[in-house]
Structure 1
Amino acid sequence: MATQYDAVIVGAGFGGLGAAIQLNRLGYDNLLILEREDDLGGTWHVNRYPGLAVDIPSSTYSYSFEPNPYWSRLFAPGAELKRYAEHVAEKYGLRGSIRFGTVVTGATWNENESHWQVAIQGGNRVTATYLLTATGFLSQPKTPDIDGIDSFRGKIIHTTAWDDDYDLTGQRAAIIGTGATAVQLIPEVAKVVSELTVYQRTPIWVSPKPDYRIPKALQRLFATLPPVQQAVRQIGNSILELMMISGVVHYKELRIANRIAERWCRAHLFRQVRDPELRRELTPDYSFGCKRPTFSNDYFPTFIQPHVHLETSSIERIDEHGVVTVDGNRTEIDVLLLATGFNLWDVNFPAIEIIGRDGKDLGKWWRDNRFQAYEGVTVPGFPNLLSLNSPYSYSGLSYFTTIECQMKHMDRLFTAMRRRGAHVFEVTQEANDQFLDRMTEKVGNSVFSLGQCATANSYYFNQHGEATLLRPTSTINAHREAARFPLEDYTYA
């Protein structure tokens, strides 16, 4: 049976687009990108909630080989990220390879034909020599399991399915969640509603946001002299590296960096909230870095407004017209906004059923044998599979660091395979085990192991209590190993 495609890529977000660009560079142009949504861009297409913006400097949140000199702000609004994704797809000729509105239900390795059979909702199948899953880390929305939520007669909106036609003006609103999404959403909602109650389970560390409009003259300078923008990018990367790597990953050796970051956030809160009781409620009781921190200048001041109320008691139930907390307090509302994040570990690793050699189920294997992936990319027993959103793959704070490390890994792996005249690769069990042992040891020196993370409720931790999402090394190390990993860590056929 003839194989239809060189590769099938699941997902048309930035990860999938980067993978397609790299495969094209390597000479694979018979590609199929399957996307469940009606357009490309991943999270920047799905999310349209008020206040949406990148939560790290825009200069670092883009491909290094495709800089955008025209970001309007240091922290660009979500619509600009969407346009950037469209620009990348057009410039690199990828849109013609994308099939939108296509839900992948699973994929199975065919040992006899040495290819992947990819099942599509509706009964269709396609085959490809290589399978790349680029479904993202934040692709499966989490809906809270609260008693009575289905009985609520008002409007319910999850941030990943924002209803642009629904007018919040003058409404009595409630928001569940105070993560990075809510930090952006809450100030915007507070501007238009008559009453806003925010239900907080876990406070979040918030730093000042050095956001500003980028002047047209500076944009022209970036466009004319790209090295200037590259220098700005390097400065941004260095700051993020200091925050995330020094203070979080190297917590054992550099606890002072973690304490400085925490005190910086505490000082920001103190400047903006003078009420000691409200400040206490907004202050995390876990170590900085246990949960993803964020930046904002208007989140804390929102809670000072008289029509905004912070509720820290747990929700007991939701009835037809309101929310009831465990202390018996009931708040009537017209609209319930869910900023409850994503379900990573139950349904996202992997986001589809993947069956490898000898019927090995990737999701079951991960849950039975710990979450793991060699260099965050490949898994033994799954030939010709590149899992681009895997345990230990996320490096630093910018997702583009992860993407470009994986592109380097692909370049080295496929070049080696081609030199050998091979078409099938598979990481060895020994190499995988050594990498897992090394990552586990390094996590032991991080804030995730040595800090106070028990109350963080962080998606960094899986259901077994292991922090296996982030790669516990510097981004320099991640780039170096992606370009230099031992070729003998793979078998080729």
Structure 2
Amino acid sequence: MAIIGTGATSVQCIPHLGASAQHLYVFQRTPSSIDVRNNRETDPEWANSLEPGWQQRRMDNFNILVMGGDQDEDLVADGWTDIFRNLTGIAAKTASRELGRRLTSKEKADLMELADFQKMNQVRARAETIVQDPATAEALKPWYRQFCKRPCFHDEYLPTFNQPNVTLVDTDGKGVDRITETGIVVGDTEYEVDCIIFATGFEVGTSYTRRAGYDIIGRNGQTLSDKWANGWRTLHGLQTNGFPNYFFLGFTQTAVTVNVPHALNEQAKHVTYILDQAHQQGATRVEATPEAEEMWLAEMQDKARIAEKFYAECTPGYYNNEGKPGNPNGFFAGT
């Protein structure tokens, strides 16, 4: 058996495949950052002690922390909040208090880069500590900045490579060469397998209608795919001119957060508020204006400059459009 890819999907699959396959070949283009998840059973007494509304309090607390805000307590205390406590404004605020002054922009950037290096060194050291074969351990070390790729957290992924029936095939960033009738070829070696699992990722920025099998038609017969042929144009990622009463929920030119259900919940509440206001005013149509679209597009372009500079230096992945700047359907589509 073979699995192609070592991203977030594969990280979840490989421990189970390794436990049941006669032999598992893992084909890797670029290693993921695998930090501690510390997964464990929930204490029933603790669960019974939770007061009504605990879910929303934890969601709000988590979201504030991962956005760089301060909280008296970390109610989730997982790998995500640990990363953001070190790599966002919280670390800078702590350093400012210790120095008795505000940090300069360069000092903040240097502090974040140092924190990033320390965290990734910790992740690389974890691979070396857990994986017994030195060559495999070295191949599993992620040599890039923390957010060049989606950080992963797992307690069983790295130990799986200590099993005799699991082989890592590192392609040195190139990917597999070809697939034959009997296996997978990398370089001069063909690995014979009877089953291939493709964990090769997904299209984060797929054009809105390409996979749906249908198109959305707005005013004067204009299709959404035509309007967005050269990139997204929205107001707050929720509406676009020419398509009244049509709302987009998801990551369409809107906020991206670690907790996707939280983002969707906030969007749903906002859309409900808009519809309620329209109802109270007796309106039958809600639509973004062209001027509002231009304003929001300018905001996206302004804020994307920093991210694009950072991701231009990263190894290819969906965060940087597979290393292809300007891709209209990529992660920075419409910016």
Residue 212 (structure 1) aligned with residue 40 (structure 2): yes
Q: Secondary structure at the match of 2:177?
A: strand
2:220 is matched with which residue?
358
Residue 285 (structure 1) shift: 3.5
**Alignment CA distance shift 1:415-1:229 (3 Å):** closer
1:430 is matched with which residue?
291
Task: Report the AA paired with residue 418 of structure 1.
Answer: H
Residue 415 (structure 1) shift: 2.7
Aligned residues: 294
Q: Secondary structure at the match of 1:411?
A: helix
Give the share of equivalent positions with the same residue, in percent: 28
**Alignment CA distance shift 1:291-1:453 (3 Å):** farther
Residue 283 (structure 1) aligned with residue 149 (structure 2): no
Question: d(CA) in 2 for partners of 1:247 and 1:392?
Answer: 27
1:395 maps to which of 247, 250, 256: 256
**Unpaired runs of at least 5, structure 1:** 1-172, 472-493
Residue 295 (structure 1) shift: 0.7
1:53 is matched with which residue?
none
**Alignment CA distance shift 1:266-1:289 (3 Å):** same
Residue 300 (structure 1) aligned with residue 158 (structure 2): yes
Question: d(CA) in 2 for partners of 1:187 and 1:469?
Answer: 34
Residue 191 (structure 1) aligned with residue 19 (structure 2): yes
TM-score w.r.t. length of structure 1: 0.53
Contact 1:460 1:469 in 2 (8 A): no
1:157 is matched with which residue?
none
Task: Report the AA paired with residue 188 of structure 1.
Answer: H
Residue 386 (structure 1) aligned with residue 247 (structure 2): yes
Residue 391 (structure 1) shift: 2.4
2:278 is matched with which residue?
417
Residue 414 (structure 1) shift: 1.5
Question: d(CA) in 2 for partners of 1:269 and 1:391?
Answer: 36
**Unpaired runs of at least 5, structure 2:** 69-79, 93-104
1:176 is matched with which residue?
4
Contact 1:373 1:390 in 2 (8 A): no
Per-residue deviation, residues 216-261 of structure 1 (Å, max 9, x unmatched)? 2222222xx2255555445544554455767788898552454454
**Alignment CA distance shift 1:366-1:208 (3 Å):** same
Residue 338 (structure 1) shift: 1.6
More strand by share: 1
Contact 1:178 1:202 in 2 (8 A): yes
Task: Report the AA paired with residue 468 of structure 1.
Answer: F
**Alignment CA distance shift 1:178-1:349 (3 Å):** farther
Question: d(CA) in 1 for partners of 2:266 and 2:209?
Answer: 20
Q: Secondary structure at the match of 2:316?
A: coil
1:468 is matched with which residue?
332
Per-residue deviation, residues 340-374 of structure 1 (Å, max 9, x unmatched)? 23234345556341122233222233232x23432
1:265 maps to which of 123, 127, 130: 123
2:317 maps to which of 457, 462, 465: 457
TM-score w.r.t. length of structure 2: 0.76
Question: d(CA) in 2 for partners of 1:404 and 1:460?
Answer: 27
**Alignment CA distance shift 1:341-1:181 (3 Å):** same
Q: Secondary structure at the match of 1:310?
A: strand
**Alignment CA distance shift 1:468-1:247 (3 Å):** farther
Residue 226 (structure 1) aligned with residue 52 (structure 2): yes
Residue 400 (structure 1) shift: 1.5
Contact 1:303 1:309 in 2 (8 A): yes
- 5 Å matches for 1:11-160? none
2:268 is matched with which residue?
407
2:99 is matched with which residue?
none
Q: Which moved more, 1:356-365 or 1:419-428?
A: 356-365
Task: Report the AA paired with residue 289 of structure 1.
Answer: F
* Displaced runs of 4 or more, over 6 A: 244-252
Task: Report the AA paired with residue 124 of structure 2.
Answer: R
**CA RMSD, Structure 1 to Structure 2 (Å):** 3.1
Residue 277 (structure 1) shift: 2.9
Per-residue deviation, residues 77-104 of structure 1 (Å, max 9, x unmatched)? xxxxxxxxxxxxxxxxxxxxxxxxxxxx
Q: Secondary structure at the match of 1:436?
A: helix
Question: d(CA) in 2 for partners of 1:210 and 1:245?
Answer: 18
